[in-house]
Amino acid sequence: MSNITQTASRVHQNGVTSQKPLDLFWLLLGRFGLALLAAASLLRYPQYNPLPSLTAAAIALYILLLLGVHVLLRNQRWIAVGEMLIDTAAVALLVAITGGIRSYYILLFIIPILRFTTTFKLHNSFLPVILAVSLGASLTLVLTQTEGPNIARLGSIIGGILLVAAFCGVVAYECRSRHKALAELQKANEWLRQAAEHDYLTKLYNRRYFSQRLRTELENAKLRGTPLAVILTDLDNLKEINDSDGHEAGDSAIVKAAAVLSSSVRSTDIVARLGGDEFGILLPNTPREAARNIVNRISEIAGQTSPNLSISAGLAVYPEDADDPDSLLRSADQDLYRNKALKKSRSILSVAEVTQNHNGNGALILIAEDDPIASESLQELLQMAGYRTAAVSDGSQVVEMVRRLRPDTVLLDVVMPGADGTTVCRQIKNDPELRLTPVVTITGQSSREDKLAAIAAGADDFIRKPYDRVELLTRVKALVNNSKLNERLEDLEAVLFSLATAVEARDPYTRGHSRRVGHYAVLLGRAIGMKPEELQALHWGSMLHDIGKIGIPDAVLLKPGRLSEEEMLQIRSHPDIGANICRPLKSAKVLLPIIKHHHERWDGKGYPSGLAGEEIPLSARVVAVADAFDAITTDRPYRAGCPAPVAFDILREGIGTQFDPNLIEPFIEAVQADTSLPRQQQIYEPEREEPALLR
């Protein structure tokens, strides 16, 4: 695609044409001819050449000026302008030497004119004129050089011949380049036309083309009074293929399905990939029975192609089922849904057989379903699998039930009275206390948009009705296991936060330091527009940023005097120690950059990794500023804390060396505007879990 885009850009661009080696060769050859003519003229008119070395000096100056233009200038447009000025000056000097306006050499002004037209792409209109004048000028100069020394006559003849060759070469090169560019443009246009109508993976037509042809074929069917059949298909097990074998295997299955569909229809029929595993087929002038035979043929060929390839299809026919495009598609989609449900019902096992390999261990599942039959069916299935269940039928009550019961998983119907499932899911995931509760949305809708809406709301999984019981139990089991794992990780986090508090308790001068750093870090994060989840990471990362000091001996950590080099190395190891301690956390991905890199410096002289500039994660740069400010403004065994204005000046001195230049002023403004608690006091009470700023 990039090559085609470049081709189109090169053909259509306005402005300077890039110089190719062959193009430069012909231009340089023409200039060499000009130099020979100039030398011959200086020899022929000695009154303009008082010094023997003037000829060589003039030509050398001409060449040096041309080389200087290429060396000193970088922009193609300015190089072209410089060359034209030098060529014009050289020709003007030659004309002045050889008789002024009566000189035959006045025709050599064609050289800068030719350079101008090829540079600014004007040669298409001037090409015949340039060629004729160039040939005439060169031949005239050759035939009129009958005076002067033999060497001057020879130079004039050779120079004229070179000019003829150069002009012809430039014109031929430009013609070939133009022809090649037009051919490439035609190729690019054809490729773009194909890309606009075809799917990149299967090479079938795409949804856009299918929609256009559906309208066209429907109009033709109405005019001719003939039937039009529409078939919608999708793969039954694409998700399982992706999950078990990877997306490459899924793409391979889609390509195989496309081949099956293409081989099952006539050459005049339209087969298109509508998106994902969904395909559409248009069958002009095809009655229902013939279309049904094609559906059966698709199933047969799919089974012969691969035992794992299962395709379901839905059929709608104009005028029996609908008489407009949208209604036809809707009717075919409903038929597809019914056929998929029928196919699944044939493979559903009894409840006892389904649940025999599942043990819920008493985990609580909240079922949010307004259909009493569906709710009872789910409860029966889950209870036989060893789960405890609770049910709610009103969407507006779900969040309160989750808050009160704290279930291990929520099965949430999307369409419910009171509040729809997508809204309820978003409320659960936006609640700090409930956000880790696994939510599975269940819907009878099959569109891709519904699935994307559920995912956007934060759903952990998505199941379409009618669901396979084995699939549902498997997904519930996986989410319950994840929920239990989250609980264990939360317990581990609680232990680590207790350890962080214990580390601070070793030194009375740093007690409350981590909480204050978290407060300042969140202030700065808000000031620079960080997202809520990033602010949460700043808070927790600040709480744990010095946890690695648990591995530093008290003799070093609490030493009031200057540290030795060996002791300083021990202190500088605490970021790595802290990162190793916190690596098992579920939130390690966002916390480890803060814990490990909050002592890096903007100039690269920090530790432990010596990162510089934007190599340092933004969260670590933010915590570094907050950490430094709290260290400056609080008392230490060896000094008293500085007032805030003095601390601000110290931070400003570190701009560009220790700190990110873009963070200091926003930090100062944020701290000055903060009125939550007076300065020089503990920012947080010991029992508080998170700053008011985050609430």
Nearest to 79 by CA among 63, 91, 90, 67: 67
d(CA 468, CA 344): 7
SS3 16: coil
SS3 446: coil
Residues 585, 492 contacting (CB under 8 angstroms): yes
d(CA 57, CA 48): 13
pLDDT band at 279 (very low <50, low <70, confident <90, very high): very high
SS3 283: strand
Task: Give the pLDDT mean for 115-144.
Answer: 56
pLDDT band at 686 (very low <50, low <70, confident <90, very high): very low
d(CA 427, CA 402): 11
- What pLDDT score was predicted for residue 141? 54
Q: How many CB atoms lie within 10 A of CB 542?
A: 31
Q: Give me the residues paired with residue 229 across strands.
A: 283, 317
pLDDT digits (tens, 9 = 90+) for 425-439: 888 888 877 877 888
pLDDT digits (tens, 9 = 90+) for 161-185: 666 666 666 666 666 766 777 778 7
Q: Which top CATH class is 352-482? A: alpha beta
- What pLDDT score was predicted for residue 14? 39
d(CA 411, CA 393): 12
pLDDT digits (tens, 9 = 90+) for 227-272: 999 999 988 878 777 776 778 888 888 999 999 999 999 989 999 9
Residue 689 to residues 498, 501, 684, 692, 694, Cα–Cα distance (Å): 12, 12, 9, 10, 11
- What pLDDT score was predicted for residue 407? 87
- Tokens 């089974």: give the residue: 303
d(CA 570, CA 549): 9
Q: What is the CATH number of domain 207-347?
A: 3.30.70.270
d(CA 517, CA 129): 78
- What pLDDT score was predicted for residue 690? 35
pLDDT digits (tens, 9 = 90+) for 54-111: 555 566 666 666 666 655 666 666 766 777 777 777 777 777 766 666 666 666 676 6
Highest mean pLDDT among 315-329, 334-348, 390-404, 467-481: 315-329
Parallel/antiparallel/unpaired status of strands 439-443 and 409-413: parallel
Calculated CA dihedral for residues 350, 309, 241, 439, nearest 10 degrees: -50
d(CA 372, CA 380): 12
Task: Give the pLDDT mean for 316-333.
Answer: 92
pLDDT band at 597 (very low <50, low <70, confident <90, very high): very high
d(CA 630, CA 513): 7
Beta strands in 20-159, from DSSP E residues, in sequence order: none
Q: How many CB atoms lie within 10 A of CB 82?
A: 17
- What pLDDT score was predicted for residue 691? 34
Superfamily the domain 506-694 falls into: Hypothetical protein af1432 (1.10.3210.10)
For residue 272, what are the contacts with CB-CB under 8 A and spacing of at least 6?
199, 204, 205, 206, 207, 209, 210, 279, 280, 281, 282
SS3 364: strand
Structure tokens at 246: 């990877």
What value does the mean pLDDT of the chain take?
Answer: 75
Where in the chain are the domains?
2-189, 207-347, 352-482, 506-694
Q: How many CB atoms lie within 10 A of CB 667?
A: 25
Reduced to 3 DSSP states, what percent helix, strand and coil does the chain have, rounded to the nearest 5?
A: 65, 10, 25
In single-letter form, the type of residue at position 219 comes to E
pLDDT band at 192 (very low <50, low <70, confident <90, very high): confident
Calculated CA dihedral for residues 159, 163, 165, 168, nearest 10 degrees: -170
Structure tokens at 535: 């602010």
Calculated CA dihedral for residues 676, 680, 686, 691, nearest 10 degrees: 30
Flag whether pLDDT at 285 surpasses 90.
yes
> H or E stretch including 273?
strand 270-275
Structure tokens at 395: 């969407």
Residues 304, 239 contacting (CB under 8 angstroms): no
For residue 536, what are the contacts with CB-CB under 8 A and spacing of at least 6?
694
For residue 45, how far is the Cα from the chain centroid? 69
Residue 94 to residues 81, 89, 147, Cα–Cα distance (Å): 20, 9, 16
- What pLDDT score was predicted for residue 114? 66
Structure tokens at 569: 């190395």
- What pLDDT score was predicted for residue 70? 59
Task: Give the pLDDT mean for 558-566.
Answer: 80
Name the DSSP class of 443.
E
Beta strands in 490-613, from DSSP E residues, in sequence order: none
Residues 389, 383 contacting (CB under 8 angstroms): yes
Question: ∠ CA(179), CA(185), CA(188), 5° rounding?
Answer: 145
Nearest to 663 by CA among 608, 611, 616: 616
Buried b (16+ CB within 10 A) or exposed e, 473-510: bebbbebbebbeeeeebeeebeebbeebbebbeeeeeb
Cis peptide before 466 (omega within 30 of 0): yes
589 or 405: which carries more pLDDT confidence? 405
pLDDT digits (tens, 9 = 90+) for 486-524: 665 565 556 656 666 666 656 555 677 888 898 999 999
Cα(first)–Cα(last) distance of the chain, in Å?
Answer: 49
Q: How many CB atoms lie within 10 A of CB 191?
A: 16
- What pLDDT score was predicted for residue 324? 93
DSSP letters along 409-478, please? EEEEESS-SSS-HHHHHHHHHHSTTTTTS-EEEEES---HHHHHHHHHTT-SEEEESSPPHHHHHHHHHH
- Threshold 0.75, pTM exceeds: no
- What pLDDT score was predicted for residue 356? 46
d(CA 564, CA 82): 65
In single-letter form, the type of residue at position 189 comes to N
Sheet holding 270-275, edge to edge: 270-275, 278-284, 228-235, 311-318
Estimate the crossing angle of helix 21-44 against helix 76-97, to 10 degrees: 20
Parallel/antiparallel/unpaired status of strands 461-464 and 439-443: parallel
Q: For the chain, state the CA radius of gyration.
A: 40
Residues 591, 541 contacting (CB under 8 angstroms): yes
- What pLDDT score was predicted for residue 242? 77
